[in-house]
Amino acid sequence: MRDKILVIEDDMDISNLICMNLEAAGYETKPVYDGNQAVEQIEKGEDYDLALLDLMLPGRDGFSLIEPLAGHGIPVICLTAKGDVVSKVQGLKMGAEDYMVKPFEILELLVRMEKVLARTGKGGKVLCFRELQVDMKSRRVYEGGKEIVLKPMEFRLLVVFLQNRNVMLPRNRLLDLVWGEEFLGESRTVDVHVAKLRKKLKACEAIVTVPRGGYLFEDDETTGRGKGRR
């Protein structure tokens, strides 16, 4: 079962872009375009796993929606152009789990969503590719019905690839997403872990090395992948 994301964004182009990329990453999305529509969705009592919330909305503003969303058990990530410290503090104090300032990168959004879903106990989807199944909640990996044991960073790298199929990921970007921006190691670390994934999982033969670039997880059946900075 896919995690269901409520996307509350009044700019239709941005909303469509977010939804397209989240659907490609395996999420189910529900877009709404103003604060009043968002209230209607909240009051319906539908089981959303996470809300992506713009703060400057027509109707009711985003700040007024944080507490109702949290009250219905829906974690919130604020996505907004309001980058001042006062707004960030206000949003987090009101109950938002995270706060991202526009423009943002889809890859970073996916990582932050995964962390919020894990922290709040909402994440529970299974990523699939051919005979490969990755259970995000139990953090177990199966291929052809057999469990394959991966080390934590191997698992994290695999998830990043599966969530960003057909996107060329430079080595330094993979280092940031998997090991964190403060990691002081070399890009060779990525090469070593990719080699381990290819050795352990037949599905990881789909990881293509891009000369002088990075890596790409090739999936011919998937389209509409993210195109970088939004």
pLDDT in tens, 11-63: 999 999 999 989 888 789 999 999 999 998 888 878 899 999 999 999 899 99
The position carrying tokens 């430079």 is 170
Is residue 226 pLDDT above 60, yes or no?
A: no
Instruction: Say if CB 32 and CB 38 are below 8 A apart.
Output: yes
* Structural domains for the chain: 4-119 (3.40.50.2300), 126-217 (1.10.10.10)
Strands 146-148 and 140-143: antiparallel
The string of pLDDT tens digits covering residues 53-85 is 999 999 899 999 998 998 888 999 999 898 889
Listed in sequence order, the DSSP H helices in 53-187 are 63-71, 85-93, 106-119, 152-163, 171-174
**The two structure tokens encoding residue 106:** 């889809």
Indicate the pLDDT class of residue 222, thresholds 50, 70 and 90.
Answer: low
Q: Could you give the C-alpha distances from 90 to 11, 73, 132, in angstroms and in order?
A: 23, 19, 42
Indicate the pLDDT class of residue 223, thresholds 50, 70 and 90.
Answer: very low
Spatial separation of the C-alpha atoms in residues 222 and 218, rounded to whole Å: 9
Indicate the pLDDT class of residue 221, thresholds 50, 70 and 90.
Answer: low
For range 122-133, the mean pLDDT: 82
Q: Please name the helix (run of DSSP H) or strand (run of DSSP E) that holds residue 215, with its range, or none.
A: strand 214-217
Is residue 229 pLDDT above 80, yes or no?
A: no
**The two structure tokens encoding residue 191:** 């090469």
Q: Which of 31, 44, 25 is nearest to 5 (CA)?
A: 31
Is residue 192 pLDDT above 60, yes or no?
A: yes
The string of pLDDT tens digits covering residues 84-114 is 899 999 999 999 999 999 988 888 898 899 8
pLDDT value of position 124: 66
The residue type of 114 is E
pLDDT value of position 56: 92
